[in-house]
Amino acid sequence: MDSNKTNEQNCIISTLCTIAGVKGKCHVLCPHWITIHGATGEGGRLFAANIPRQYMHTTLANSPVEESQPEAYAVIEKYVESFKKMFDTALPEKDRIKSLYLCSHITGTGKTTTAIAIGNEYLKYQYVGSIKRGLKPKRRPVYFMSMNELQTLYSEATRPNVPKEIAERASGRYYENVESMKNVDLLVFDDIGLRSSTEAFTSDIHSIINYRNTMIKPTVYTSNIPLQDIGSMYSKQIWDRTRDMCLEIAFSGESKRGFRR
């Protein structure tokens, strides 16, 4: 290990860390780095949160989307400041952390990148805030799930003529994900409304959303469908309540896929 090399550029908690950039302390053997990122940089709490590998270092500060979505990011940065309230359990419902609904009519405008950056910010605030208060940080305060991944697991588990061992494995993973999505503090739910679904799968989506609404757990949604129209695909009653608890942010412009680095 190079004793002169520091690791703050790779660590998502660096902006809240008192030893970030300090030679001899900020390095890949730092116990906090290993806890968050894992010894290889692709594990730890980020892996437990199901954050895709390419987004494990993404925060609002380094997001490539900010340049093309300045108005959305101005609102989101203020939203992330509300994460400081996560330790105040006595807050009335109206003052708790709200849900977000990131929407654009076209793909590739940066919704997923931004939603995961928000999730990583929440993990950062939860970890550092817990340590400052003498609390044990949660292993999985955030969970990421795409509708496509969840629906694929459901199909593998229920499709006729799938080999038994594959169906059983998919079923186990599917219900583990459903429970994680229900109970995690902050859920990042990507591409909701992307595909049509069976009645049974839609019922599971209702169950997840309704449970989180009832327990006042914030969710960051991304979608190509405006919030006012999502009720046509799912339960209108559930989404009426979701709208009351959600801030919708529109992403504009053309697709940037293939251009960002």
Find out if CATH 3.40.50.300 is the number for domain 54-250.
yes
The full set of domain ranges for the chain reads 1-41, 54-250
Question: Over 50: is that where the pLDDT of 224 sits?
Answer: yes
pLDDT interval class at 196 (50, 70, 90):
confident
CA distance 207 to 123: 25
Look at 5-14, 155-164, 216-225 and tell me which has the smallest mean pLDDT: 155-164
94 or 146, which is more confident? 146
CA distance 248 to 233: 18
Looking at the chain, the whole-number percentage of residues with pLDDT higher than 90 is: 72
47 or 206, which is more confident? 47
CA distance 192 to 186: 16
Query: Which pLDDT score, from 0 to 100, does residue 261 have?
Result: 39
In contact, 103 and 226? CB cutoff 8 Å:
yes
* 24-52 pLDDT, tens digit each: 999 999 999 999 999 999 999 999 999 99
Which residues are paired to 246 by β-bridges? 99
Question: Over 80: is that where the pLDDT of 221 sits?
Answer: yes
CA distance 219 to 199: 23
Query: Which pLDDT score, from 0 to 100, does residue 260 have?
Result: 47
Question: Over 70: is that where the pLDDT of 192 sits?
Answer: yes
19 or 245, which is more confident? 19
Q: Which residues contact 194 (CB under 8 A, 6 or more apart)?
A: 147, 148, 223, 224
* 98-138 pLDDT, tens digit each: 999 999 988 889 999 999 999 999 999 999 999 999 999 99
Helix (H) or strand (E) holding 248: strand 246-250
Query: Which pLDDT score, from 0 to 100, does residue 241 have?
Result: 74
Average pLDDT of the residues of the chain: 90
